[in-house]
Amino acid sequence: MKGLFKGLIGLAILGFLVAYFGSPILTVRALVAAAEAGDEAALERLVDFPAFRDSLKDELTARLMAEARVDPRVRDSGLGGLGMILGPMLVGGAVDALVNAPTVAAIVRTARVPDPTDRDPGAPAAGDDGPDIRQTYGYRDLNTLAVRLTNVERPNQTLKLLLTRQGLFDWKLTGIDLPAG
């Protein structure tokens, strides 16, 4: 009887660990399926849009500032300083206006942030299955999973989606790391 009890406790612990560490993979699969199906309701449940927008704003603003510091036309110009002040506000406004469920779907399907001039970033081209995207996973810490999306045609341009634990077994897309360059 004692051995059975220890076995059940061990099985319960094993089940908990599998669920604890496997739950983000299920969320990633649900996110990819929702993106491919264009299921906006599912994407609304799987994405923390305020956190995702803040992360994208930070990424784009950092890139803008880095490029401005390197470009002598901006760095040495009086108006360059004004541009560096106004740039983050413009980035923030654009991200707030453009990041929605179809945009996230397009990011997941293509492994790239869509062009803001595209009228419907979530719609795949007619008869197009989309690019071949490879997914790899890795924990950054116990509560953050990085999903690396790589288009096989652009293997050195890996986009990272960051999922954050929300409770014990729930995960949401909360951030993004853009590819270098």
pLDDT-derived band at 5, boundaries 50, 70, 90: confident
Order of strands across the sheet with 144-151? 133-141, 144-151, 159-166, 170-177
Q: What is the pLDDT of residue 89?
A: 81
Report the distance separating Cα 181 and Cα 172, nearest Å. 27
Helix (H) or strand (E) holding 48: none
pLDDT at residue 111 greater than cutoff 50: yes
* Sign of the CA dihedral with 34 first, then 38, 39, and 44 last: positive
Q: How confident is the model at residue 80 (pLDDT cuts 50, 70, 90)?
A: low
**For residue 125, what pLDDT band results from cuts at 50, 70 and 90?**
very low
Residue 127 confidence (pLDDT) above 60: no
Q: How confident is the model at residue 179 (pLDDT cuts 50, 70, 90)?
A: confident
pLDDT at 126: 44
Mean of the per-residue pLDDT values of the chain: 85
Instruction: Please tell me whether residue 178 adopts helix, strand or coil conformation.
Output: coil
